[in-house]
Structure 1
Amino acid sequence: MQLIQIDKARYRKHLNRVIVGCAASLAIGSLAISQTLIALFPDESGSHFHWNLLGVIVTSIGIGWLLNKYRTHPFMSEVVYVWELKKALNKITRKMAKLKAAGREGNPDALLAIHYSYAGSRLLWQLDDNTITMDDLAIKQAELDSVAAKYNLTLNADDYDDAILKQF
């Protein structure tokens, strides 16, 4: 997955609309379904927990289906890209201990994966205005750059392919 620059204002606007739309749909849909089921199948004891739960589950499945169906729509492009980037970074994070160990030994694939993780994290943190942890990231990046220089490697995030994680 290539790292691309995203229009931050457009991304935030679209993400906020998706979040509000999902929250409103969940509230309205689950209430509509559960109230309909309660009206059709009333419980003598007054407990309608199972109908409320079913309303939430059915609505959640519907929202998930809609998000998946419209993930290729131009409105969703930035939001889906960030979701996919987070997924790719989570794959790397799960293997980070092994990657760092191999990186200290000069494994170029491990160093490239770590570099991609740092570059992707920097992009996400800038989109989310998470500047507090940028200093820590800069320190880690400097350490990575020194290890790469020690082994005479040039790291480019564009060269990353998640298939290299299979060896770790």
Structure 2
Amino acid sequence: MKLQEINKTRYRNHLNKVIAGCIAALVMGSLGIAQALIAVFPSEQGSHFHWNLAGVVVTCLLIASVLKKYKHHDFMTEVTYVWELKKQLNYITRKMRKLKAAVDQGDVVAMQIINYSYAGSRQLWQLDDNTITMEELSVWQAELDAKAREVNVTLDANKFDPQSLTNY
């Protein structure tokens, strides 16, 4: 996955609309389905927990299927990109201990993967206005850059290949 420039205003606007739509659909769908099930299958004890739960589960499945169907729609471009980037960065983070050990041994591929992770994290944190740990990220990046200079490597986030993660 290549890093892309994202229009922050458009991303935030579309993400907020997607979130609001999902919340509204969850509330209306789960209540509507639960009420329909209660009307069709009333309980003499007065407990309708299982019907309420069924309404929530069915609505969540419907929302997930709609999001999956429309994830390539133009409206969802930035939102889908960020979701996929977060998924990729999460995968890298789970392998970070092995990657950092490989970097300490001079592994160039591991350096490129971590560089991509730092660049992607920087982009996400800027998009989400989460700049609290940006200074810490700068320190990590400086350490990685120093290690890359030691082995005479130029780091480039565009050289990241997701398949290379299988080696770690």
Q: Same fold (TM over 0.5)?
A: yes
Distance 2:106 2:71 in 1: 39
The CA deviation at 1:131 is: 1.1
Aligned to 1:127: 127
Take 1:115 and 1:158, find their aligned partners in 2: how far apart are those partners?
Answer: 10
- 1:88 matched to which residue of 2? 88
Residue aligned with 2:5, SS: coil
Residue aligning to 1:36: 36
Report how many aligned residue pairs link the two structures. 168
What amino acid is aligned across from residue 71 of structure 1 in structure 2? K
- Deviations, residues 37-61 of structure 1 (Å, cap 9, x unaligned): 1111110000000000000000000
TM-score normalised per structure 2? 0.99
1:58-107: CA deviations, max 9, x gaps? 00000000000000100000000000000110110010000000001110
Query: What is the match of residue 118 of structure 2?
Result: 118
Provide the rounded CA distance (Å) in 2 between the counterparts of 1:139 and 1:164. Answer: 25
Normalized against structure 1, the TM-score is what? 0.99
Which segments of structure 1 move beyond 4 Å, counting only runs of 4 or more?
A: none
Give me the identity figure in percent.
60
**1:113-137 CA-partner distances (Å, limit 9, x unpaired):** 0000000000000001111110000
Q: Counterpart of 2:12?
A: 12
Equivalence for 1:68 = 68
Partner of 1:49 in structure 2? 49
Q: Distance in 2 between matches of 1:127 and 1:144?
A: 23
Question: What amino acid is aligned across from residue 48 of structure 1 in structure 2?
Answer: H
Tell me the distance in 2 between the aligned counterparts of 1:91 and 1:163: 12
Unpaired runs of at least 5, structure 1 = none
The separation in 1 between residues aligned to 2:131 and 2:90, in whole angstroms, is 20
The alignment yields a C-alpha RMSD, in angstroms, of: 0.4
